[in-house]
Structure 1
Amino acid sequence: MYIFSKGLMSYNSVLSGLVLQTFLTGPTAWFVALVGAAITAVITATLMYFLGNFDFPILTLPFILFAWFVLLSSYKLDSIKLSDSLSPQSLANWELHIEGKINLLRATFNGIGQIFFVTEAIPGLLLFIAVIWASREMGSTTGRRIAMDLLQGWWRDV
């Protein structure tokens, strides 16, 4: 019962549903996302059962395996269609432009928000406050990681 009360069974399912709904298109996208979330829950339970004996954490492995399986199977299955945002791109002429000033607020909290598919700084700040509220230890660890990430980004620009 512990894994259900902590949300461990639903996290991978939510991620699978989000990614499939985001990157699939067509009339079957919602159906594939819902069925995919259910299948991911079964994969999560199976991996927890088999890998739990070895004290091996599965983390987001079920989500990654199933999402890649569905996204790659779309090339062979006509009923699953990829979104145009996932069309292959030519990297031969691609250039990375990283000039400009760093927005400290956005750089600080954008990474936290991206974990939950949120790309703005204010929701990231709210998530950081929620982490601190839930556990001061995890909040301080998250704060240290943010500081290390900012220093790493600054060091690369020097």
Structure 2
Amino acid sequence: MTIKPVQLINMILKGVSQVVLIENSITGIFIIAGLMATSLSLGVLAIVSSCIGTLIGIAGGDSESAQSGLFGFNSVLTGLALFIYLDGPYTWLFAIIGAAIAGLLNASVMHILGQFKMPAITFPFILVTWLFVIAAYQLHILDLSNGLAPESLASWTITPTGDLHWFEGMVRGVGQIFLQDFFWTGFIILAGIFWAGWTFGLYAVASTVLAFLTAYIMGADMESLNSGIYGYNAVLTIIAVAAVFDVKTDFAPVTGLIGVILSVPVTAAVHSLLLPYGLPVLTLPFVLTTWTLLAARQVLVKI
């Protein structure tokens, strides 16, 4: 199959937009612009990473999935994560290598989980990112950034009081999908989600509000609340469960909201589990919550 340059560009942009489970090239442009609001390098890396994942899909013979952007989004997230979490002169190189590995692993996970009628979503991104982070403790060529370090749960303190920046925290929750807590990055990405459809946008807003309130009521750490840590998994969960995967009943939005609430304690639990190992939470709460609800939906068909 011959791919024209315009078609390839469209695939690459969809690869970026599929991070938020949306197949829309304009949304991809919004996301890239939002990343560039934080750093020009992040926007360029998102484009390069999506291109790598997309070309792997095309070269491997799955042009249909590549056209929908399904080979780009895990590569995008992996490239960004490794660029952020690794340090040293080879950061760009490892980010690109990681994006390529994520593209290959994406195909493997799609095949395995497809037998159970379950989507791969962002699981390949999580595995590849953790692989590099863990390997950095044994391989001198990999340098971890100062933001990652094992911590004892006994020394971890929660500060549930302080200045609450609810609006900024909720908008930053959207940006945290791409590991960014810059307010304007979250705002621009949210605008891109609205561009794809008012339903997507309203789901994103509703999920950030509900997740923020749930985390606040449960006594979450104030710094985590204000930086949007409890919002991004909620946004992905409601879009996945209520608007994208196997949505057959009118009860699906309610199931999505249940997923949003569930994602909060799951996020807290995953963070506690990974803290002693110095591993980032990433989108694992979204993956676990979404898989749980989609698996339940195969039996409870009315949810």
| Shorter-chain TM-score range | 0.7 to 0.9
- Structure 2: stretches of 5+ with no match in the other structure: 1-62, 220-303
- Name the stretch that deviates more: 88-97 or 33-42: 88-97
Deviations 1:62-107 (A, max 9, x none): 1111111121112222222222322333444342223223223202
- 1:85 aligns to what SS in structure 2? coil
- Name the stretch that deviates more: 59-68 or 72-81: 72-81
1:5 to 30, 55, 67: 67
Aligned to 2:155: 93
Aligned to 2:78: 16
- Cα gap change, 1:107 to 1:29, in 2 (>3 Å): closer
- Cα gap change, 1:23 to 1:122, in 2 (>3 Å): closer
- 1:78 aligns to what SS in structure 2? coil
Shift of 1:35: 1.1
Partner letter of residue 96 of structure 1? I
Matches within 5 A, 1:118-133: 118-133=180-195
Q: Aligned partners of 1:112 and 1:67: how far apart in 2?
A: 20
From the two aligned structures, give the one with the greater helix fraction. 2
Shift of 1:153: 4.0
Q: Aligned partners of 1:130 and 1:28: how far apart in 2?
A: 32
Q: Aligned partners of 1:68 and 1:92: how far apart in 2?
A: 23
- Name the stretch that deviates more: 114-123 or 33-42: 114-123
Partner letter of residue 166 of structure 2? L
Q: Does 1:43 align with 2:97?
A: no
Partner letter of residue 19 of structure 1? A
Aligned to 1:76: 138
Shift of 1:41: 0.5
- Cα gap change, 1:146 to 1:7, in 2 (>3 Å): same
- Cα gap change, 1:140 to 1:2, in 2 (>3 Å): farther
1:105 and 1:121 in contact (8 A); partners too: no
2:105 and 2:124 in contact (8 A); partners too: yes
Aligned to 1:139: 201
Shift of 1:109: 0.9
2:81 and 2:179 in contact (8 A); partners too: no
2:171 and 2:186 in contact (8 A); partners too: yes
What root-mean-square deviation, in Å, do the aligned CA atoms of Structure 1 and Structure 2 show? 2.1
Q: Does 1:27 align with 2:27?
A: no
Partner letter of residue 125 of structure 1? F
The alignment's TM-score, normalised by the length of structure 1, stands at 0.85
Q: Aligned partners of 2:134 and 2:77: how far apart in 1?
A: 17
Identity value in percent: 32
The alignment's TM-score, normalised by the length of structure 2, stands at 0.47
- Name the stretch that deviates more: 5-14 or 99-108: 99-108
- Cα gap change, 1:83 to 1:101, in 2 (>3 Å): closer
- 2:200 aligns to what SS in structure 1? helix
- 1:59 aligns to what SS in structure 2? coil
Q: Aligned partners of 1:88 and 1:50: how far apart in 2?
A: 32
- Cα gap change, 1:25 to 1:150, in 2 (>3 Å): closer
- Cα gap change, 1:43 to 1:124, in 2 (>3 Å): same
